């Protein structure tokens, strides 16, 4: 027998989950369309050089690579936002655009648990937009999308890379040293962050300010605590941005859905401003991730500041299941033809589907066929005789 195993980190989607994903996708499609987002579907294959040549490129270690028939190196789409930035910069001919998508992305390094190498995402990108009002709109829409998906007991955790960048300006780390410290702080690993700072010769208040970042989370009380740590203009501007976003979201009615975390620091070469994650109780990974990435399109020849987010649809289903919010599975009514009444049963099947009913036409016939369908748990409609 042929090997039926799948590679690590990928799964088949079986009928029940596939139906749930389809329903979720339809809900979000309607939400995106009603809110003025235009759909796009980026190509699944990109040239390696297209992405590797960007300063904001995905790490090579995360790319699935293959060789084309002409010898050029290809990659499976490793990042949907980069692909959207390429489309917007080179093909749309617009200075501003709001786009939506449903697409897989592929991550060579993921696998197991709530992580996967093949990630089915829904997302939006607001291109050509700047300012905290655009940021606040994007976060508010993320909240509405999670509500539309059926989630409850979730929060949007908001950070800003500008604060960390401001603290870095005071200590003069190399790019490699800064990335090492960033990774540790993002993981709330202050022990290793302190070790790296000590190795780089950072001491005193400068070191202590960096190590204080993992504790800067919560509500509005984060802002004065962050301001007290530094007078750096970049860091203080980041706090001002967050205060303005907080004001706007509060006035919009979303105060109960938001928190702040200045220790959430994603790659500095990719993100340029706010960061945010959608967190659900009892789930060990974000269901939504987004932020501002003003420089992504620059590598494709056009400056288009942007903010957006992506939702992991399978993670949302896991969260809905744990919240007891998945809809009950409803089996279709099954039409079974009595002997010699196959054509009549087929006409009944067509008539009901045209009325929008959920029905299935059985390939079994007669009383024995009806019994087999009933034994399988289906409600049966026999067609023929006096029906």
Tell me the DSSP string of 109-147: T--STT--SEEEEEEEEEET--SHHHHHHHHHHHHHHHH
- Kindly report the pTM of this predicted structure: 0.92
Residue 206's pLDDT is: 87
CA 222 to chain centre: 26
Confirm if 65 and 73 have CB atoms less than 8 A apart.
Answer: yes
Please name the residues in contact with 25: beta carbons below 8 A apart, sequence gap of 6 or more.
Answer: 102, 122, 313
pLDDT (0 to 100) of residue 303: 95
Rounded to an integer, what is the distance from CA 43 to the centroid of its chain?
Answer: 18
User: Per this entry, what is the length of the chain?
Assistant: 387
**How buried is 104 (Cβ within 10 angstroms: 0-12 exposed, 13-18 middle, 19+ buried)?**
middle
pLDDT in the model for residue 111: 61
Six token digits for residue 310? 């992506």
How far apart CA 42 and CA 213 sit, in angstroms, is 37
Instruction: Let me know: does 306 contact 126? Beta carbons within 8 Å.
Output: yes
CA torsion 356-361-366-367 (nearest 10°) is -70
| pLDDT score at 173 | 87
Residue pointed to by tokens 């939506």: 100
Helices 161-169 & 175-186 angle (0-180, nearest 10): 130
A 10 A CB-CB count for 225 gives: 15
Using DSSP, state whether 361 is helix, strand or coil. Answer: strand
- Cα(22)–Cα(26) distance, integer angstroms: 6
Instruction: Return the pLDDT at 2.
Output: 67
346 burial level (CB within 10 Å; 0-12, 13-18, 19+): middle
Blockwise average pLDDT, block size 10, the chain, 387 residues:
80 92 96 97 92 71 91 93 94 95 89 76 96 97 97 95 91 88 90 91 88 93 94 94 97 97 88 95 89 92 96 95 89 92 95 94 94 93 76
For residue 201, count other CB atoms closer than 10 A to its CB: 11
pLDDT at 331: 86
E strand or H helix at 274: strand 274-280
pLDDT at position 25, please? 96
Task: Please tell me the class of the 15-322 domain.
Answer: alpha beta
**pLDDT tens per residue, range 268-307:** 888 999 999 999 987 888 999 999 999 999 989 999 999 9
Alpha-helix runs per DSSP H in 280-324: 313-322
CA 199 from chain centre, in angstroms, equals: 36
Q: Which helix (H) or strand (E) holds 51?
A: helix 48-52
């Amino acid at each position: 027998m042929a090997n039926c195993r799948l590679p690590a980190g990928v799964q088949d989607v079986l009928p029940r989950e596939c139906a749930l994903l389809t329903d979720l996708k339809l809900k979000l499609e309607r939400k995106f369309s009603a809110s003025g987002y235009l759909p796009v579907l980026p190509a699944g294959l990109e040239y390696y050089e297209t992405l590797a040549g960007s300063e904001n490129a995905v790490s090579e270690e995360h790319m699935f690579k293959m060789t084309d028939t002409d010898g050029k190196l290809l990659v499976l789409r490793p990042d949907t936002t980069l692909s959207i930035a390429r489309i917007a910069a080179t093909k749309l001919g617009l200075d501003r655009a709001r786009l939506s998508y449903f697409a897989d992305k592929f991550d060579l390094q993921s696998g197991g648990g709530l992580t996967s190498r093949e990630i089915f995402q829904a997302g939006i990108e607001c291109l050509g937009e700047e300012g905290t009002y655009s940021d606040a709109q994007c976060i508010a829409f993320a909240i509405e999308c999670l509500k539309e998906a059926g989630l409850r007991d979730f929060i949007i955790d908001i950070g800003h890379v500008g604060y960390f960048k401001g603290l870095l300006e005071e200590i003069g780390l190399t790019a490699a040293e800064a990335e090492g410290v960033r990774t540790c702080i993002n993981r709330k690993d202050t022990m290793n962050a302190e070790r790296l700072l000590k190795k780089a010769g950072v001491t005193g208040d400068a070191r202590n300010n960096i190590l204080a970042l993992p504790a800067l989370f919560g509500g509005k009380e984060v802002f004065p605590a962050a301001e007290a740590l530094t007078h750096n203009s970049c860091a203080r501007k980041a706090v001002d941005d967050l205060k303005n976003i907080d004001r706007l979201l509060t006035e919009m009615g979303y105060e109960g859905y938001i928190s702040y975390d200045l220790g959430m620091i994603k790659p500095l070469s990719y993100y340029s401003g706010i960061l945010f994650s959608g967190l659900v109780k009892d789930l060990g990974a974000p269901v939504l991730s987004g932020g501002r990435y003003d420089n992504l399109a620059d590598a494709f020849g056009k400056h288009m500041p942007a903010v957006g987010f992506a939702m992991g649809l399978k993670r949302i289903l896991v969260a809905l299941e744990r919240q007891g919010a998945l809809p009950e599975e409803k089996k279709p009514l099954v039409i079974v033809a009595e002997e010699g009444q196959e054509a009549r049963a087929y006409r009944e099947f067509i008539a009901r589907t045209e009325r929008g009913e959920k029905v299935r036409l059985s390939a079994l016939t007669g009383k024995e066929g009806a019994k087999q369908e009933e034994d399988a748990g289906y409600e049966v409609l026999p067609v023929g005789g006096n029906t």
